[in-house]
Every structure is written in structure tokens, then in C-alpha cells.
Amino acid sequence: MAEPSDRPLSGEDQVGLDLKAIARHLRDEWDEVNARLATMTEDLESVFAASVDSNADDEHDPEGQTIAYERSQLSALIRAAQAHLAGVETAIARLENGDYGICAVCLQPIPAARLEVRPTAATCVQHAAIANG
């Protein structure tokens, strides 16, 4: 997704949320996660580039194990950041479409306290619990 739009939003929606503040928060979070993702991706590319010319055997060379661990850890952090970024982008799209703060399952308002803690929430607590098993 491209950078979030600066489309003006009305002040509050039907469940009493301050949409302008939420939009600012989500855009700030998008910027922060995107910057962190870029840095981690560069770091991972550096780890790969540094190991290209080495003859390290991940299994038997002590340094090879460290490099493999770094690659694995950075890859996992990148996947988590990508998932978080996707959640932020989805929340921004819901905000722009006018259905932010409405549970995607039961179509009831998501409590403001839940959205304050987890601004990317697409479901109420009840349906989030069911989805997470």
C-alpha cells in the first residue's frame, strides 16, 4: 500500500471516536513501522552480503551458527513488522471507508477502550477470542 492519504475525516463517528486523532495516530504508526521495516531489511541484506564470501558452515562453525541465528531473528522480526504494517494499512482503509470501529463479524461498535489499546482491531473482543481459538 502506498503512504496513507491525508483525506479529511469528520470529527467523530457513530461510536464517539475522535477519527482525526485516530487517523493521525495510525499515520504516525505507519511511518514508524515502515521506517523500522526498511532498517531491518537493510540489516538483513547486510547479513546476507557479509556471508556471501565466507565459507561458514552453519552447523559446524561457531560463527556460522551466529550468522544463521541473526538471519532467522531478523527474518522473523521483518515478518512481524510486515504483518503489523498490513494491520495498520487495513485500519486506515477502514477509517477512510467509514467502517472503522465496527466489528467485521457482528457489525456492532467495537468498544473505544479496545480501540485505544489496539487501534488496528477489526473485531470486538468476543469475536477476536473466537478467531484466536
Chain segment 119-128, per-residue pLDDT in tens: 999 999 999 8
What does the pLDDT average to over 61-80? 80
CA gap 7, 107 in Å, rounded: 24
CA gap 117, 114 in Å, rounded: 5
Q: What is the pLDDT of residues 80-118, one digit of tens each?
A: 999 999 999 999 999 999 999 999 999 999 999 999 899
pTM given for the model: 0.72
Other CB atoms within a 10 A radius of the CB of residue 101 amount to 24
pLDDT value for 54: 60
